[in-house]
């Protein structure tokens, strides 16, 4: 199966503009004939559902939460990047493009990233028009701050709640379409399978989480906007409900999965406090605009109160190692530097797994009021969780699993290798390469949903490829039967171990062997252990209740069963990629300075895995990465 990314020809800067005018169109009157199923209502899903409904398509949108407004995009704190050059500091589309390509360690698709940078400015304008209350200067114009991996200020923000306000903007636009009858919302509804008929995505099988009823929806196209799979690690910054079931079911139906091992660990999260913890909380990267990260120079100072350690005995290790980017080094690099100082025994707090994020200097310089205005809600959140006042004592931070750059493979049109299956937002793989820069996730989600998919999906319909599959097509009944059988099997095991105990064990294993650093031996051990754990799960899991009611235990069991398969693919991909790049750090591939060492000769490709049945190994397809504009260089932030 050859993977064709369908990248338009011509110079990079004009590819998208020219391509847009070449794309096929659907007459407004005919748009009503097309049913689009959008799964997920986060930034990309809600934006796509609203925009497609505005255009006149018949849209059904699905989410597992009780309202579209609760999708996890809501928790994004810091901001959204856009190349508007509001600060007159030399920003441009080309610079945002280059920062993003470099941030992703030259493992993303150039044409997609350039398009993203081009669209970025229009996103801000769209959101302002929707009533998103972006921070403003006293003169009434938009304000910016800086984020990791950039030397310009291009991040637009709404206090520490940017994701919330952007999501509410998209949710409100979708609500308007619902009231106009153009879109229908299915809440507390989880997608459990994809229906593929003659190689085309024709619908989905869902479970009503309240009644337990299994039903099918037929459509002319299916859009997966279902987010990432960080929760596979059990402890992550994702919401409890985030899961990989939709993308994993699509993979099993033939969609290829790209770069699964590209996962992101965020450097500043509140450290684990005890073994019962179920969820980690991130502290926005924006805090590193004013906070300084440090540990004691000497191990014997680690137990002392931070205030009693004089300036000369502190090691501001990010500023020391990366003088030109300092505390705003990209996430993968900052996380590894943190692990390094903690592994050297200079970490602080319980177990030595923590570093200080100190606002003392900023407070002395700007005063407490200015700090409160900028970060008030983040300091408050920290106080709730830790019971400490970060205006007085430095925060304690440690890296945690946060985001997944990998996802279903898509072409330039955001369509997977299955006709009619589009994948947008975090669920696809295309724009962030091996590491995502801060404030770029919101940008990508909204670019996909508002400004890319609405064009490319029309082209798919216009090119006459889809043929209707009636809801009574046997393909639907067959998929429903499989879903029901799987749920019945989960309920019938009635073993001794809870779902959570399996999930915790898998998470620990992945964190140790496929986390911040990865080695051949560790990955081989994980690949040996995961199938064992999967067999133990199916032989000894205990799921309570029945399938015909609200059953949160069953929902989780089904998700964990998928993680037990997906995790194997993630480790397999990590083992295959014998180089370090971005968040994927192989201990065998390190520069003299201890940084990630890429191997462009062998690994400048997208690894796309094809499912070939449970008993066979997946097949690897390679999409070569070719750069016309960006120069593949060793990434340095020193």
Partner 1 sequence: MHLSLRVWRQKSASAFGRFETYEARNVSADMSLLEMLDEVNEDLIASGGEPIAFDSDCREGICGACSVVIDGVPHGSRHGTTACQLHLRHFKDGDTITLEPWRARPFPVIKDLVVDRHAFDRIIQAGGYVSVKTGGAPDGNAIPIPKTDVDRAMDAAVCIGCGACVAACKNASAMLFVASKVSHLSLLPQGRVERERRVLAMVRAMDDAGFGACTVTGSCEAVCPKNIRIDVIARMNREYGRALLKAGFVE
Closest approach, Cβ 70 to partner 1, in A, equals 4
User: Phi and psi of 164, rounded to 5°?
Assistant: -60, -50
**CB distance 584 to 526 below 8 Å:** no
Closest approach, Cβ 493 to partner 1, in A, equals 13
> At CB < 8 A and 24+ separation, what contacts does 480-487 make?
480/193, 480/205, 480/214, 480/215, 480/216, 482/193, 483/192, 483/193, 483/205, 483/207, 483/214, 484/214, 484/547, 486/192, 486/558, 486/561, 487/207, 487/214, 487/547, 487/554, 487/558
Closest approach, Cβ 63 to partner 1, in A, equals 11
For the question of residue 331 being annotated catalytic, the response is: yes
* Residue closer to partner 1, measured from CB, 146 or 236: 236
Calpha distance 287→379 (Å, rounded) = 10
Calpha distance 410→576 (Å, rounded) = 21
* Residue closer to partner 1, measured from CB, 288 or 556: 556
Closest approach, Cβ 300 to partner 1, in A, equals 27
Calpha distance 228→525 (Å, rounded) = 25
Calpha distance 235→281 (Å, rounded) = 10
Closest approach, Cβ 168 to partner 1, in A, equals 7
For the beta carbon of residue 496, count every other beta carbon within 10 angstroms: 10
Closest approach, Cβ 84 to partner 1, in A, equals 8
Q: What is the DSSP letter of 327?
A: G
Closest approach, Cβ 188 to partner 1, in A, equals 8
* Residue closer to partner 1, measured from CB, 208 or 319: 208
Calpha distance 159→138 (Å, rounded) = 15
Q: What is the CA radius of gyration of the chain?
A: 24
Instruction: Render the burial of 39-54: b for 16+ CB within 10 Å, e for the rest.
Output: bbbbbbbbbbbbbbbb
* Residue closer to partner 1, measured from CB, 56 or 475: 56
Closest CA to 227 of 482, 45, 353, 354: 45
Q: To which H or E segment does residue 621 belong?
A: strand 619-624
Q: What is the helix, strand, coil percentage profile of the chain, to 5?
A: 45, 15, 40
Q: To which H or E segment does residue 595 belong?
A: none
* Residue closer to partner 1, measured from CB, 76 or 196: 76
* DSSP class per residue in 523-552: HHHHHHHHHHHHHHHHHHEE--S-SSS--H
Closest approach, Cβ 76 to partner 1, in A, equals 9
* Residue closer to partner 1, measured from CB, 59 or 570: 59
CA angle 338, 313, 268 (to 5 degrees): 25
Calpha distance 408→429 (Å, rounded) = 6
Closest approach, Cβ 98 to partner 1, in A, equals 24
Closest approach, Cβ 14 to partner 1, in A, equals 20
* Residue closer to partner 1, measured from CB, 140 or 613: 140
Closest approach, Cβ 39 to partner 1, in A, equals 17
Strands 200-208 and 214-218: antiparallel
* Residue closer to partner 1, measured from CB, 104 or 438: 438
Calpha distance 232→230 (Å, rounded) = 5
* Residue closer to partner 1, measured from CB, 69 or 107: 69
**CB distance 179 to 56 below 8 Å:** no
* Residue closer to partner 1, measured from CB, 216 or 444: 444
Calpha distance 536→498 (Å, rounded) = 11
Residues in a beta bridge with 223: 38, 422
Q: To which H or E segment does residue 293 belong?
A: strand 292-296
Q: How far is CA 244 from CA 195, 248, 637, in A?
A: 17, 6, 33
Calpha distance 126→123 (Å, rounded) = 5
* Residue closer to partner 1, measured from CB, 128 or 477: 128
Q: What is the DSSP letter of 14?
A: G
Closest CA to 242 of 438, 448, 402: 402
* Residue closer to partner 1, measured from CB, 178 or 527: 178
* 124: Cα separation from own chain's centroid: 20
Catalytic residue among 288, 331, 586, 598: 331
Closest approach, Cβ 552 to partner 1, in A, equals 6
- Where in the sequence numbering do the catalytic residues fall? 331
């Amino acid at each position: 199966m050859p993977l064709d990314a369908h990248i338009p020809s011509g110079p990079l800067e004009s590819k998208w503009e020219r391509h847009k005018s070449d794309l096929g169109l659907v007459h407004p009157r005919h748009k009503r004939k097309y049913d689009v199923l959008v799964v997920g209502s986060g930034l990309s899903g809600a934006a796509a559902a609203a925009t497609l409904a505005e255009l006149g398509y018949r849209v059904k949108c699905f989410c597992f939460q009780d309202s579209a407004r609760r999708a996890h995009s809501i928790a994004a704190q810091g901001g959204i990047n856009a190349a508007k050059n509001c600060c007159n500091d030399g920003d441009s589309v080309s610079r945002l493009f280059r920062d993003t390509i470099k941030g992703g360690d030259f493992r993303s698709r150039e044409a997609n990233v350039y398009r993203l940078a081009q669209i970025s400015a229009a996103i801000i304008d769209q959101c302002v028009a929707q009533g998103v209350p972006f921070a403003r200067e006293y003169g009434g114009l938009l304000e910016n701050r800086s984020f990791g991996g950039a030397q310009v200020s291009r991040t637009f923000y709404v206090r520490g709640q940017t994701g919330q306000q952007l999501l509410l903007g998209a949710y409100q636009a979708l609500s308007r379409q619902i009231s106009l009858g153009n879109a229908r919302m299915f809440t507390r509804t989880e997608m459990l399978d994809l229906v593929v008929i003659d190689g085309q995505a024709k619908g989905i099988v869902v479970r009503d989480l309240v009644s337990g009823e299994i039903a099918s929806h037929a459509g002319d196209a299916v859009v997966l906007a279902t987010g990432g799979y960080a929760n596979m690690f059990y402890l992550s910054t994702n919401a409890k409900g985030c899961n990989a079931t939709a993308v994993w079911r699509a993979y099993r139906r033939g969609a290829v999965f790209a770069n699964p091992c590209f996962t992101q660990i965020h450097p500043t999260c509140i450290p684990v406090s005890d073994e019962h913890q179920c969820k980690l909380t991130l502290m926005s990267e924006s805090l590193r605009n004013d906070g300084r990260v440090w540990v004691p120079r000497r191990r014997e100072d680690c137990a002392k109160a931070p205030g009693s350690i004089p300036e000369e005995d502190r090691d501001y290790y990010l500023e020391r190692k990366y003088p030109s980017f300092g505390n705003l080094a990209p996430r993968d690099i900052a996380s590894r530097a943190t692990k390094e100082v903690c592994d050297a025994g200079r970490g602080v707090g319980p177990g030595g797994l923590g570093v200080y994020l100190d606002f003392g200097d900023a407070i002395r310089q700007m005063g407490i009021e200015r700090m409160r205005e900028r970060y008030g809600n983040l300091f408050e959140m920290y106080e709730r969780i830790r019971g400490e006042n970060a205006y007085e004592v430095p925060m304690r931070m440690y890296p945690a699993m946060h985001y997944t750059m990998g996802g279903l493979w898509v072409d330039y049109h955001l369509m997977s290798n299955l006709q009619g299956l589009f994948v947008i937002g975090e669920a696809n793989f295309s724009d962030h390469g091996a590491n995502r820069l801060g404030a770029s996730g919101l940008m990508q989600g909204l670019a996909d949903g508002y400004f890319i998919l609405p064009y490319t999906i029309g082209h798919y319909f216009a090119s006459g490829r889809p043929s209707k599959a009636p809801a009574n097509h046997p393909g639907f009944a067959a998929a429903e039967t499989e879903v029901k059988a799987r749920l019945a099997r989960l309920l019938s095991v009635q073993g001794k171990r809870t779902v959570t105990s399996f999930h915790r064990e898998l998470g620990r294993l992945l964190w140790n062997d496929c986390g911040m650093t990865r080695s051949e031996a560790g990955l081989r051990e994980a690949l040996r252990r995961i199938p064992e754990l999967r067999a133990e799960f199916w032989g000894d899991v205990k799921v309570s209740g029945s399938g015909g009611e609200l059953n949160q235990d069953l929902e989780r069991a089904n998700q964990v069963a998928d993680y037990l398969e997906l995790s194997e693919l993630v480790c397999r991909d990590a083992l295959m990629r014998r180089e370090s790049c971005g968040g994927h750090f192989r201990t065998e591939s390190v520069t003299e300075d201890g940084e990630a060492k890429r191997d462009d000769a062998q690994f400048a490709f997208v690894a796309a895995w094809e499912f070939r049945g449970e008993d066979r190994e997946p097949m690897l397809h390679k999409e070569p990465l070719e750069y016309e504009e960006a120069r593949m260089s060793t990434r340095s932030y020193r």
